[in-house]
């Protein structure tokens, strides 16, 4: 494993670890977004998603099953991005802010795809 791969995975994983732990410990604000999306048991879903993000982020950072961990993070990012940043429903400055967060998440998904594609050359 190259040092660049390790540092890159760790940097990418850091936001998932931090965000996942936050969702586990304080799910209320995110759960309101899940509830607005009409999904059942919003607090539980938020905590499950947070657990997936924290655990998968830690595994990816440590180089333990990084491709599988990145796939799990990708799977959790799709609903997180759609539910958490629905810029298409907003106007003005709020729309711009949510569009930026949506785009940031899409960029992180691109980084995760690079981890999935890495065959350890």
Kindly state the percentage of the chain with pLDDT values over 90: 86
Q: Over the stretch 76-121, which tens digit does the pLDDT of each residue have?
A: 999 899 988 999 999 999 999 999 999 999 999 999 999 999 987 5
CA distances from 33 to 1, 18, 58, 108, 118 (A): 39, 19, 25, 21, 34
CA atoms within 13 A on the CB side of 116: 15
pTM score: 0.88
């Amino acid at each position: 494993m190259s040092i660049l791969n390790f540092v890159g995975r760790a940097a990418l994983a850091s936001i998932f670890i931090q965000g996942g732990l936050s969702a586990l410990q304080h799910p209320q604000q995110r759960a309101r977004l899940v509830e607005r999306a009409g999904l059942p048991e919003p607090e539980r879903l938020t905590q499950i998603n947070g657990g997936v993000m924290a655990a998968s982020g830690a595994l990816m950072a440590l180089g333990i099953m990084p491709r599988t961990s990145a796939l799990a993070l990708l799977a959790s990012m799709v609903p997180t991005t759609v539910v958490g940043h629905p810029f298409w429903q907003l106007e003005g400055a709020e729309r711009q802010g949510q569009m930026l967060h949506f785009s940031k998440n899409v960029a992180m998904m691109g980084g995760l795809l690079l981890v999935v594609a890495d065959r350890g050359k």
